[in-house]
Amino acid sequence: MSERWKTSRELLKRASGALAGGVSSPFRAKFPVPLYFHDGQGSRLEDEDGNWYIDYTLAWGPVILGHKHPALVAAYRQAAERPLIYGAEHRLEIEVAERIQAMVPCAERVAFTSSGSEAVQLALRLARAHTGRPLILKFEGHYHGWFDSVLVSHHAKLDEMGAEEAARAVPESSGQVANALENVIPLPWNRLDLLERVMAERGDQVACVIMEPWLMNSGGIEPTEGYLRAVREVAHRHGAVLIFDEIITGFRMAPGGAQSVFGVTPDLATFGKAVGGGAPLSVVAGRKEILELMFGGGVSFGGTFNGNPVSLAAAAATLEILAADGGRALRETNERGRRLMEGMRAAAARRGVKMLVNGFGAAFALHFTNTTELKSYRDVCADDAERLRQCLFGLLERGVYALPDGRFYLSLAHTDADVEETLAAVDAVLAAI
Ligand SMILES: Cc1ncc(COP(=O)(O)O)c(C=O)c1O
């Protein structure tokens, strides 16, 4: 293997003697070697071997302003001059909660947590408390964090899931409690008929229907026309809570998330990643009477780092920029992303490669597939993983860094020049594979 990543390989070897697996998240233990970084600026990152990349991973999403945005650096500096954490109230909590309330349609009330997985757990508990029902209805291929209760039918194999009409709940981890599966009903996404049928049979036991409103964890699949609105109608008809997991779409697709773009307001929504601009912060937002169940309604909730000043300082700076000028910056970023998607499609057509590019602009994913349309996770199971690996490796060699599942994220710092440079790399790689 090339000497290009020599230092990263050496560091991984050393790390493996102390850190389990040598990395802080198994998702990062990827080909060709987990890269070790030490600096970056704007849309670019530099690894320990001195290679520079256009960064389309953005730390798996959070870095919405780009690396070392001056407003974020200043916010951190100011926060560092004060106590890092109080475990008590402070003004930034109010400021950021009010800001989110103004930006996000469903946010009658807001609660702060630290990770996306944790925010989802709170939302599920609230939904169960509100309805007095046990079951979660989720969709295949959608990811809602790594906890036992929802790590079900995320990236299961096609033959494990059973027929679409009789989808089986598939566990995703050894060590996961088996009875978690009893509380989850998995369904193929974008199939309203199946949702109607299951809700007619078991709807009186379903606490919530949870989904990524744009399926980014399985390759950037969009909801079919009218689907989100119809799901809300079905959920409400059966007395279930609708939860949008906007941990990727939130503060990325638009300042108000996917719910503002599609005009469909869920009862609860979870946010993470971009909301903190890179700091660990997540949010549950939604209807007042559901969130207020934590205060006098018997729902237990805690967290040492909830609402910590450092993360909220980062969020305040980030959200101010995203909200400015009617959300112009995110609009432009999504437009730039769509130009990049179009350019990639054109390169694939030019080079005679069957490749789909799916997403909404500021987040999208590549698929090497003979399929012409992707509607649910089952459709992406036919993707050619080896071709994707070759493509991502070729891009990495040319200084374009994307996620191992073929996902690309754009930040406000990505420029038209980045897009042009990326398209030249994509063209060269597609010509070679
Ligand atoms: C849609 C969605 N929900 C939940 C999570 C879990 O968030 P975290 O990794 O911060 O726990 C993720 C993470 O990628 C996600 O994409």
Is 377 a residue of the active site?
no
Of all protein residues, the one whose alpha carbon is nearest to atom 4 of ligand 1 is 144
**CATH (domain of 359):** 3.90.1150.10
- Ligand 1 geometric centre to CA of 155 (Å): 14
* Strand order across the 363-368 sheet: 355-359, 363-368, 407-409
In the set 245, 267, 383, 405, the catalytic residue is 245
Please write the tens of the pLDDT for every residue from 289-313. Answer: 999 999 999 999 999 999 999 999 9
Does residue 193 sit in the same domain as residue 260?
A: yes
CB 116 less than 6 A from any atom of ligand 1: yes
Which pLDDT score, from 0 to 100, does residue 28 have?
67
Does residue 113 sit in the same domain as residue 141?
A: yes
Instruction: Using pLDDT thresholds of 50, 70 and 90, give the confidence band for residue 26.
Output: confident
Does residue 222 sit in the same domain as residue 184?
A: yes
End position of a domain, from candidates 262, 293, 322: 322
For 246: left if phi > 0, alpha if psi spans -120 to 50, otherwise beta; the answer is alpha
Please write the tens of the pLDDT for every residue from 379-431. Answer: 999 999 999 999 999 999 999 999 999 999 999 999 999 999 999 999 999 99
Please write the tens of the pLDDT for every residue from 84-133. Answer: 999 999 999 999 999 999 999 999 999 999 999 999 999 999 999 999 99
Does residue 146 sit in the same domain as residue 240?
A: yes
CB 144 less than 6 A from any atom of ligand 1: yes
Q: Is the pLDDT of residue 1 over 70?
A: no
Does residue 342 sit in the same domain as residue 201?
A: no
Is 273 a residue of the active site?
yes
Query: What whole-number distance in Å separates Cα of residue 144 and Cα of residue 212?
Result: 8
- Ligand 1 geometric centre to CA of 61 (Å): 10
Which pLDDT score, from 0 to 100, does residue 361 have?
98
Which pLDDT score, from 0 to 100, does residue 30 have?
72
Of all protein residues, the one whose alpha carbon is nearest to atom 7 of ligand 1 is 116
- Domain residues for 26? 3-68+326-432
**CATH (domain of 120):** 3.40.640.10
For the question of whether the overall pTM of this predicted structure is more than 0.95, the answer is: yes
- Ligand 1 geometric centre to CA of 147 (Å): 11
In the set 53, 143, 227, 401, the catalytic residue is 143
Does residue 223 sit in the same domain as residue 364?
A: no
Atom index in ligand 1 nearest the CA of residue 61 equals 14
Please write the tens of the pLDDT for every residue from 137-183. Answer: 999 999 999 999 999 999 999 999 999 999 999 999 999 998 999 99
Q: Is the pLDDT of residue 83 over 70?
A: yes
End position of a domain, from candidates 271, 291, 322: 322
- Helix (H/G/I), strand (E/B), else coil: 362: coil
Does residue 255 sit in the same domain as residue 217?
A: yes
In the set 55, 273, 383, 401, the catalytic residue is 273
Does residue 47 sit in the same domain as residue 119?
A: no
Does residue 34 sit in the same domain as residue 90?
A: no
What is the number of structural domains in the chain?
A: 2
Q: Is the pLDDT of residue 17 over 70?
A: yes
Does residue 260 sit in the same domain as residue 403?
A: no
User: Average pLDDT over the chain, rounded to whole?
Assistant: 96
Write 200-205 long-range contacts (CB < 8 A, 24+). 202/135, 203/237, 203/238, 203/239, 203/240, 204/133, 204/238, 204/239, 205/133, 205/134, 205/135
Is 53 a residue of the active site?
no
Does residue 9 sit in the same domain as residue 34?
A: yes
- Ligand 1 geometric centre to CA of 26 (Å): 14
Atom index in ligand 1 nearest the CA of residue 118 equals 11
Does residue 93 sit in the same domain as residue 34?
A: no
- Average pLDDT of the residues in 40-61: 97
Please write the tens of the pLDDT for every residue from 222-263. Answer: 999 999 999 999 999 999 999 999 999 999 999 999 999 999
End position of a domain, from candidates 266, 301, 322: 322
The pLDDT > 70 percentage for the chain reads 99
CB 145 less than 6 A from any atom of ligand 1: yes
